[in-house]
Amino acid sequence: MTWNENGGRLGEEFFTPGSSSFTEFLAAHRPELLSTRRVLPDGVRAAPDQVPHGTTVLALSYRDGVLIAGDRRATMGNLIAQRDLEKVHPADDHTAVAFAGTVGLALDMVKLYQVELTHFEKIEGVAMTLDGKARRLAGMIRQNLGQAMQGLAVVPLLTGYDPSAPEGERGRIFSFDIAGGLYEKTGFHAEGSGSPYARGALKKLFRKGLDRREAALAALQALWDAADDDSATGGPDINRRIFPIVSVITEDGFERLSEPETEALSREMVEQRSNRPDGPNATP
């Protein structure tokens, strides 16, 4: 016999065969627990200067897999709401998600997505494919459409290592729009308010076959360019020792670069910028 936390027997819904989706289970039986389903009252719109927003995140493929990174700043209008926000999170062993947009909803969505992937694997006995993970995240974003239209949008960036893909193409990148549209990107991509500048930098710096160090430096250079032109994006904060989050996903799984490694690369990049403010030239 299985008992719930209040000492009573679990309801029949826990023993009835159904979908392997945790969010679908909650939507059917406890929809009030899904933050993505809560819509503001009619006529009410969230004030942009009252809700913290995360800004620039990016990803690029490299020789061993895929790298995903993000700055640390969250803003409320023209105020800095947080200087050390973590926008890059592992979703499972070979998948990571970063976000731009409404911080509170984004963090809830990330946690729910992590549970969704774990729940699927426990129910089905196998891990979800990377394409399936992308479609499942798109569905979760679609559930948030009502709040997105009221000013509480979340725009994630999904990366993963796909062992079934051809050699050299196993690091994959997926972007989404606020309605749950799903788009696979080739090589690199960025989201958030500083993304136009980050993408411009990556267009210049990206090339196939980058090693991990070169990819990390390219990501840091792109975030610097984003911070240089977008006040909502934060660059490396040397005095406070707050540096971007940089993580990689390879055949061995998800790995966040250590704080000393990220600091050393950031300081190297800042030193380069002191001699060349516009950044490095494109590699022939």
Does the annotation mark 250 as catalytic? no
How far is 208 from 169, CA to CA, in rounded Å? 10
Amino acid at 127: A
CB atoms within 10 A of CB 144: 27
How far is 220 from 27, CA to CA, in rounded Å? 40
How far is 117 from 135, CA to CA, in rounded Å? 12
How far is 264 from 52, CA to CA, in rounded Å? 29
Using DSSP's 3-state secondary structure scheme, residue 243 falls into coil
The tokens of 252 are what?
Answer: 């061995």
Residue 228, exposed/middle/buried by CB under 10 A (0-12, 13-18, 19+)?
A: middle
From 2, 16, 23, 55, the catalytic residue: 55
Give the chain's length.
284
Catalytic machinery residues: 55
